[in-house]
Amino acid sequence: MPTAEPGPLLVVMLAAAAHGAAHTRGRPEPARTPALVSLAGSLGVVVLATTLPAT
């Protein structure tokens, strides 16, 4: 039975935190990259979640 790996979710959460920190400091340019990584990673997490078996 396949299980969910915490790695992709960890990457998404760290990217979101980096985006929030940069945005809070008023630096929109450096905040853009982690925002895009977080967005793309979230899509990946959703795709991985759909492959899990229904319980």
pLDDT of residue 11: 92
pLDDT of residue 2: 58
Q: Grade residue 4 by pLDDT with cuts at 50, 70 and 90.
A: low
Q: Grade residue 19 by pLDDT with cuts at 50, 70 and 90.
A: very high
pLDDT of residue 27: 94
Q: Of all helices (H) and strands (E), which one includes residue 38? A: helix 28-50
Q: Where are the domains of the chain?
A: 13-49
DSSP class of residue 4 equals -
Q: Rounded CA gap, 11 and 23, in Å?
A: 18
Asked if pLDDT for residue 5 goes beyond 80, the answer is: no
What's the pTM value of the predicted model, to 2 decimals?
0.79
